[in-house]
């Protein structure tokens, strides 16, 4: 029997959330900042564009001069400065992105022009402002551009570079140590003696850590020995922000992780009403966090997804740390979760205006294939019997939805 009471999932999530701080900040080159969370409010010091810029290749003119022929007096390439003024009866050849010269108030596309012996004629009248990007139309000097908490994506890298902001303050990415426990484990590339298995969890968990925007660090494997595990957990915690262990949290004679965590820190819970992953354990060691994940490969990854991933997002300052939650319609019947809330791996697709969920098949917690290709975790209520096809239940989206082509 376990001495740990079984904590309901919402309560366990709340306990983890309230123990999770936001890490400090660091300065990061913008060129490497995609995926990071911005830790400062940024205001533009400049107008974009900083000069009136032509949006087409053509001729800079005075629109009010109508269709009268004009003498072409200049040729303006992108990147040049300080051109002479365009006056009545004159025009300048101009390229896309080049500064519209003083005096000119429109650019006529080359397609609507003819030049003969230095004389420009227009096929149609130009409107004042036509094909001219006014100063500050894209970004105005002094205006707020990006807020603290923004996740720096592709567009944000471009915006920052446009403004010459080549370094930004970002929240630190959590360093996450991953330690596998088990006498049976060998490295995946080693020969596998009778009774041994390959340590897949450490590598899958490190990939999950990376996907969450954090920095994984392998802490290797440790045998099922109480002293050894306590020592390795202690050493591990000292090097990282978050420690993840795999295995050794059940009630077997050789499951020592809970004891190790109790010895060096405070264990907040040691069992949860969750499937797959009843023995998930959560502890605080000083201001560091530790999760004792179950050894079964599916259990370790699903408990990671539901409990660890949002934690890693909070730590790195993400104001929206949780995955999108949607309502899905079951494509077929699913058994209720019994005495635990079940996070059933599903494939969610958009069909006939609805989000439809299909199970990835046999959900036993050793079958990693039940996670391959899944893009959702359907949350199946407790109780007995079947939820019929068509039942609408909540789901967490873990990946892109298949939709209309």
Residues 221-250 binding Mg ion (CB under 5 A) are 247-248
CB of 198 to ligand AMP, least distance (A): 7
**Count of positions on this chain that bind ligand AMP (CB under 6 A):** 18
Choose the contact partner of 197 out of Mg ion, ligand AMP, none; CB within 5 to 8 A by kind: ligand AMP
Nearest by Cα to 380 from 348, 333, 347: 333
Q: How far apart are CA 109 and CA 73, in angstroms?
A: 17
Q: Tell me which residue has its CB nearest to ligand AMP.
A: 295
> What character string, x for contact with ligand AMP (CB under 6 A) and - otherwise, covers 123-162?
----------------------------------------
180 counts as binding ligand AMP under rule CB under 6 A: yes
- Those residues with Cβ within 8 angstroms of residue 369's Cβ, 6 or more apart along the chain or in another chain: 360, 361
Tokens of 157: 């890298």
Contact window for Mg ion (CB under 5 A) among 127-135, 177-185, 297-305, 324-332: 177-185
Q: Which of 379, 375, 377, 378 is nearest to 399 (CA)?
A: 375
Binding part of the chain for ligand AMP, among 125-133, 156-164, 165-173, 177-185 by CB under 6 A, reads 177-185
Q: How far apart are CA 135 and CA 46, in angstroms?
A: 10
User: Which of Mg ion, ligand AMP, none interacts with 44 (beta carbon under 5 to 8 A by kind)?
Assistant: none
Q: Is 247 in the site for ligand AMP (CB under 6 A)?
A: yes
Beta strands (DSSP E) in 3-104 are 25-29, 42-43, 53-54, 58-61, 70-76, 90-94
Nearest to 216 by CA among 178, 188, 172: 178
Our CB check for Mg ion shows the closer of 182 and 277 to be: 182
Shortest distance (Å) from residue 166 CB to ligand AMP: 42
Give the shortest CB-299-to-ligand AMP separation in angstroms. Answer: 8
Strand, helix or coil for residue 178 = strand
**Chain position carrying tokens 């990007």:** 133
Helix, strand, coil: what percent of the chain each, to 5? 20, 35, 45
| Interaction partner, residue 361 (Mg ion, ligand AMP, none; CB < 5-8 Å by kind) | none
For residue 229, the 8-state DSSP code is H
x/- contact string, 274-313, with Mg ion (CB under 5 A)?
---------------------x------------------
Smaller CB separation from ligand AMP, 258 or 313: 258
Contact between 245 and ligand AMP by CB under 6 A: the answer reads no
20-47: b or e for each residue (b if 16 or more CB lie within 10 Å)? Answer: beebebeebebeebeebbbbeebebeeb
Cross-strand pairs, 38: 170
Which partner in ligand AMP, Mg ion, none is near 199 (CB below 5 to 8 A by kind)?
ligand AMP
199 touches ligand AMP (CB under 6 A) = yes
In the complex with Mg ion, which residue's Cβ is closer, 130 or 184? Answer: 184
The alpha carbon of 17 is separated from its chain's Cα centroid by a whole number of angstroms, namely: 19
CA dist 253 and 88 (Å) reads 95
Q: Minimum Å distance from CB 305 to ligand AMP?
A: 17
- The phi, psi pair for 312, rounded to 5°, reads -65, -30
Can residue 275 be called a binding residue for ligand AMP (CB under 6 A)? Answer: no
Q: Which of 54, 90, 201, 363 binds ligand AMP (CB under 6 A)?
A: 201
Residues 334 and 380 sit within 8 Å (Cβ to Cβ): yes
Task: Decide if residue 177 touches ligand AMP (CB under 6 A).
Answer: no
Task: CB nearer to Mg ion: give 57 or 225.
Answer: 225
Do residues 15 and 7 make contact, with C-beta atoms less than 8 angstroms apart? yes
* Residue 201 contacts which entry, ligand AMP, Mg ion, none (Cβ below 5-8 A, type-dependent): ligand AMP
Binds Mg ion by CB under 5 A, chosen from 99, 177, 182, 216 = 182
Nearest to 365 by CA among 380, 343, 397: 343
Q: Which of 131, 230, 246, 311 binds ligand AMP (CB under 6 A)?
A: 246
Q: In angstroms, rounded to a whole number, what is the distance separating the alpha carbons of residues 194 and 224?
A: 18
By CB under 6 A, name the binding residues for ligand AMP.
180, 182, 184-185, 197, 199-202, 246-248, 250, 252, 294-297
């Amino acid at each position: 029997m376990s001495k740990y009471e079984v904590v309901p999932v919402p309560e366990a999530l709340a306990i983890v959330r309230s123990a999770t701080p936001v890490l400090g900040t660091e300065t990061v080159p913008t060129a490497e900042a995609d995926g990071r969370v911005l830790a400062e409010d940024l205001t533009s010091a400049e107008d974009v564009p900083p000069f009136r810029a032509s949006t087409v290749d053509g001729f800079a003119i005075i629109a009010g001069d109508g269709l009268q022929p004009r003498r072409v007096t200049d040729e303006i390439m992108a990147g040049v400065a300080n051109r002479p003024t365009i006056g009545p009866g004159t025009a300048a050849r101009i390229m896309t992105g080049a500064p519209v010269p003083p005096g000119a108030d429109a650019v006529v596309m080359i397609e609507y022009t003819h030049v003969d012996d230095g004389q420009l004629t227009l096929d149609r009248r130009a409107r004042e402002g036509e094909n001219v990007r006014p100063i500050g139309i894209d970004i105005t000097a002094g205006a707020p551009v990006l807020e603290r908490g923004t996740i720096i994506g592709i567009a944000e890298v471009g915006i920052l570079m446009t403004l010459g902001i080549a370094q930004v303050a970002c929240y630190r990415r959590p360093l996450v140590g991953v330690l596998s426990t088990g006498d049976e484990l060998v490295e995946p590339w080693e020969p596998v003696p009778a009774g041994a298995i390959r340590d897949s969890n450490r590598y899958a968990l490190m990939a999950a850590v990376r996907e969450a925007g954090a920095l994984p660090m392998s802490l290797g494997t440790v045998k099922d020995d109480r002293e050894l595990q306590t020592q390795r957990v202690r050493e591990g915690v000292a090097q990282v922000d978050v420690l993840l262990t795999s295995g050794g949290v059940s009630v077997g004679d050789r499951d020592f992780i809970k004891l190790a965590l109790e010895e060096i820190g405070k264990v907040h819970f040691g069992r949860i009403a969750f499937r797959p992953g009843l023995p998930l354990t959560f502890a605080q060691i000083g201001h560091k966090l530790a999760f004792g994940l179950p050894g079964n490969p599916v259990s370790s990854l699903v408990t990671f997804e539901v409990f660890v991933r949002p934690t890693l997002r909070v730590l790195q300052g993400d104001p929206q740390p949780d995955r999108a939650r949607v309502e899905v319609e079951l494509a077929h019947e699913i058994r209720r979760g019994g005495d635990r809330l079940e996070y059933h791996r599903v494939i969610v697709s958009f069909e006939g205006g609805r989000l439809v969920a299909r199970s990835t098949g046999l959900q036993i917690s050793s079958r990693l294939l039940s996670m391959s290709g899944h893009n959702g975790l359907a949350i199946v209520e407790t109780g007995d019997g079947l939820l019929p096809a068509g039942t609408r239940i909540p789901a967490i989206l873990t990946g892109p939805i298949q939709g209309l082509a």
